[in-house]
Amino acid sequence: MDYKEILKRFLSVGLLVAGLVIVVVGWHPLYRWYLGMEYLPGVDFYVSATHARQLLDHFNLPPLVWKYYWYSGYPFSQGYLIFHFYLMLPFVKFLGLVRGVQIYAMASLLLFSLACYLLFSRVSKNRLFAALLALATTYSASLYGALLWAGGIPSFATQTFLPLTLFLLIGYFQKEERHWLYLAGLSLGFSVLGHPRVFLIHLFLISLFYVVFYPYQKGKFLLIRRIKDGFLFYLITFFVGLIQIYPLLISTLKVLFVVTKQTVSAVALGGETAVRGVFSSHPQMIIVGTNQFIFIALAFLAVLFGLRIILIQGRKKALVGAFGRLYCLKPRAPSQHYY
């Protein structure tokens, strides 16, 4: 390996680390904003804190972990989602109940942002472009709105597995190395454990799009191999999330056969109006509550990047191609009736 190759790799790693630092610096105002709130919006935040405390006081592994109510109760796995509560335990034990859950939520947001940066960097091949997209996604109301509306940590934190799964899945198609596919299936399976409805509404459909359409190395399609890889990918997901899939099927059957269509329609209608009212103010909440310089800097960098694309010959086509690949990665408004 000659010195030019060494220098090229060194610069590549340096740019990657610089982008990660930019994302962390951009995330920090959100961290200070959320931890500095006088009151925490979203009643489900306190539900999450209650369950985390109960699991800490009566620790056990599924399916033996038990939710105590006076002299009775039922298995924890039959009620609230427990995967994230196990991950919260070190935060709650060493940082306190409310502050520990807050920091866990912000840590999941940071992981989401870093995974977005790695994903966008892999797809666009441009570190600056990836950092801008990651920061824009981090400051999107479609992302942090799930934390402020209901406040449920499981649904909010499970969003992290979307960019992580796509990063690993695209890595497999680009490199055709099996360990990327195994890790992607593992990540998607963890999303099932985290929150099955987030998996069904967001992660499953988007990952399926990539499994069906994303080309292999050198633009190959390879239908039979694609079917085999897709089967293996979702088989890993199924077995990882099996402990949560069974209760999901039971609850789905109860909804289908117990709740009437008229009742569901009435609930959905009232909830939709409330969601629109609350979300209309969310973008202003984050602009007023954090340092506004970050928004000015993002706009300035976006303009510089656009000028650079226009001025450099041949980059216009490259930009169109990058946006074409990233189209389905745009932030989605989260469902507001998660735990």
Segment-wise mean pLDDT, segments of 10 residues, the chain, 339 residues: 78 87 91 84 82 88 76 70 90 93 94 94 87 87 75 87 95 91 95 88 90 82 87 94 75 61 45 55 58 69 69 52 45 44
CA distance 249 to 314: 52
φ, ψ dihedrals at 319, nearest 5°: -65, -40
The pLDDT of residue 120: 92
* Of 81, 170, 156, residue with least CA distance to 112: 156
Are residues 74 and 62 in contact, defined by beta-carbon separation less than 8 angstroms?
no
Peptide bond into 63 cis (omega under 30): yes
CA distance 57 to 86: 12
The pLDDT of residue 146: 77
- Tell me if 279 is assigned to some domain: no
The pLDDT of residue 140: 81
- Tell me if 9 is assigned to some domain: no
H or E, element range at 329: none
Neighbours of 302 (CB within 10 A): 15
Number of domains in the chain: 1
The pLDDT of residue 268: 46
- Tell me if 166 is assigned to some domain: yes
- Tell me if 213 is assigned to some domain: yes
Rg (CA), the chain: 22
The pLDDT of residue 289: 60
The pLDDT of residue 233: 95
Are residues 171 and 210 in contact, defined by beta-carbon separation less than 8 angstroms?
no
- Tell me if 232 is assigned to some domain: yes
- Tell me if 53 is assigned to some domain: no
- Tell me if 150 is assigned to some domain: no
The pLDDT of residue 124: 85
CA distance 315 to 320: 9
Give residue 230's domain range: 160-258
Half-sphere exposure of 59 (CA within 13 A, CB side): 9
The pLDDT of residue 278: 54
CA distance 143 to 156: 8
Beta bridge partner(s), residue 73 = 68
- Tell me if 42 is assigned to some domain: no
- Residue-wise burial string across 83-97, b where 16 or more C-beta atoms lie within 10 A, e elsewhere: bbbebbbebbeeeeb
CA distance 104 to 144: 14
Are residues 159 and 123 in contact, defined by beta-carbon separation less than 8 angstroms?
no
